[in-house]
Structure 1
Amino acid sequence: MKINWKIRFKNPQFIAQLIVAIFIPILTYAGITAQDITSWAILLDLMVDAISNPYVLVMVAVSVYNAVVDPTTTGLSDSQQALAYSAPKKGGK
């Protein structure tokens, strides 16, 4: 499996997608919204609860998998073209 991680992390859209892929399953399982996290202590407790719960970890893993896999290629790897990028492709061209 070859993925051009260096270029993906240069793309703010990918970073946002990963953040959402991690936090939405956690928030959903806990039954809270982002507005309910009003202190660092609440966030830390939420993360500890999530890490100690196998179900939540599986849901986060599935969500991250869906965010990482490129559905336009077969298998789990990036295309040869995407692997050759030195910067994120602009404008879809």
Structure 2
Amino acid sequence: MNINWTVRLKNKNFWLTIVPALALALQAILKVFGMDFDFGETVNNLLVVVNTVFAVLAILGVVNDPTTAGLSDSERALGYTEPK
């Protein structure tokens, strides 16, 4: 599997999805080691909203084509009937 990391690292959508994904991973890892954040109920509810937004951004990163501008596929990719 070849990935053009130069192009991917220059893509803002990549960064908008990788940062929240890493934040979610860090939060899960810290919880495994017993490092839990003790916030009030309001802040916990806010964290649920933030985590949901991060998850949506991470999902968009999975389906995002970093070789094209925006979130849509290129004309060539739209013509595929199976992955190349």
**TM-score of the superposition, structure 2-length normalised?**
0.45
Instruction: Report which of the two structures shows the higher radius of gyration computed on alpha carbons.
Output: 2
Q: Which has the higher contact order (CA 8 A, sep 6+)?
A: 1
